Amino acid sequence: MDFQLTEDQQMIQSAAREFAQNEIAPIAAEFDISGKFPADTIRKAGELGFMGIEVPGEYGGAGLDSISYVLVMEEIAAADAAHSTIVSVNNSLYASGILEFGNEEQKQRFVTPVASGEAIGCYGLTEPQSGSDSAAMRTRAVLSADGSHYVINGKKAWITSGPVADYMVVFASTEPAKKAKGISAFIIETNQPGFVRGKTEPKLGIRASATCEIELVDYVCPVANRLGNEGQGFAIAMAVLDSGRIGIAAQSVGIARAAYEAALAWSRDRKAFGSSIGSFQMTQQKIADMKCRLEAARLLTLRAAWNKQRCKETGERNTVEAAMAKLVASEAAMFCAHQALQIHGGMGYSKEMPLERYFRDAKITEIYEGTSEIQRMVIARQETGLR
């Protein structure tokens, strides 16, 4: 087993770190307060290839591997989780599904502008009445009498990048009686009639990653924009989430690392009772526990990324590896942010320092793209063989 990164992986990691620390970190607090979408830095990320890391060059991407993707995600998240959320959705939830299940025309038309940073993609699975139970969706897509298009009606909730997206992968029921097997996937162009954006959500964390509800009102979607076959949508959604969960695991590692590094520096510099607080046993326990959880999360994330690359060649699913990485890393992010804030004491609670932002940002990693409870269910079902 070789833990050494390749020269190309080290180069992309270094480039991502330089970009994140020089371009994103200085503005992170400002955009967290305003909640505005960071269009300029996202455009620059696209110019560097970070909006289509695993997308082949012929479709406007960087053509790199899955490990490079998680390395970039960690670096960006360590500077600002909101930026990394936008990057994750573009790469994992939007582009990966079209690359795996789309035809050549769809890849050229809908992946190329997004991977190059000229456009933004988003993903619509969750609904106001269905989160973890995504098969219970109410959005309907009805095929026209002449078979040329679908008419889609329904609402999607918590759509990351929804307020600014140019394209959206949407899931809708084409045969409700079949439940999960009656769900289909569609590529939506957001500048068409019937696409309605709701208010931007006032979120606890990752505030600069604009999020809103989307309503489709008699939206006309050409059959050519259906992704995969009718009834294949649920399988597409689950496969895409396998990829997305690795991105969130990497994001979680970045948040955990930022919190840990801040706590480590503070424990050395902060004095109490005549000594650095890092010399106190209870502080040392926190530092040790944070370091162990951070490294365990990073290794599980890298393993999941490595296995994802292998599964591309074998056709296997990466479900359990992705779930384990997402579960452990997200809980490590929350733990590290909590402990780091505690080490900082009152200053950790102040907006003058980034600890309270890390704490707020970390929480969502235990919720979106499958809650921690769902990840445990996925892992346990695989291990026991029981449903």
Per-residue pLDDT tens digits for 330-373: 999 999 999 999 999 999 999 999 999 999 999 999 999 999 99
Q: Is 280 exposed, middle or buried (0-12, 13-18, 19+ CB in 10 A)?
A: middle
Contacts of 365 (CB under 8 A, 6+ apart): 248, 251, 252, 255, 326, 329, 330, 333, 334
Query: Whole-model pTM?
Result: 0.96
Q: CA-based Rg of the chain, rounded to a whole angstrom?
A: 21
- How much is the mean pLDDT over the chain? 96
- Name the residue with tokens 């490990």: 67
Q: CATH 1.10.540.10: does it fit domain 7-119?
A: yes
Residues carrying CATH 1.20.140.10, the chain: 234-384
Helix (H, G, I), strand (E, B) or coil at 317: coil
Name the pLDDT band for 38 (thresholds 50, 70, 90): very high
Residues carrying CATH 1.10.540.10, the chain: 7-119
Residue type, 279: S
Q: Residue 87's closest CA among 199, 196, 250, 198?
A: 250
Average pLDDT over residues 63-82: 98
Average pLDDT over residues 200-225: 97
Q: Residue 212's closest CA among 192, 195, 229?
A: 195
Residues carrying CATH 2.40.110.10, the chain: 122-232
Average pLDDT over residues 43-67: 96
Tokens of 202: 């006032």
- Higher per-residue pLDDT: 134 or 380: 380
Superfamily name with CATH number, domain 234-384? Butyryl-CoA Dehydrogenase, subunit A, domain 3 (1.20.140.10)
Instruction: Pick 122-232's CATH classification: 1.10.1610.10, 1.10.150.120, 2.40.110.10, 3.40.50.360.
Output: 2.40.110.10
Contacts of 182 (CB under 8 A, 6+ apart): 173, 174, 175, 176, 231
- The per-residue pLDDT for range 150-187, each reduced to its tens digit, is 999 999 999 999 999 999 999 999 999 999 999 999 99
Q: Which residues are designated catalytic?
A: 369
pLDDT value at residue 1: 67
Name the pLDDT band for 259 (thresholds 50, 70, 90): very high
Q: Residue 137's closest CA among 129, 148, 145, 149?
A: 129
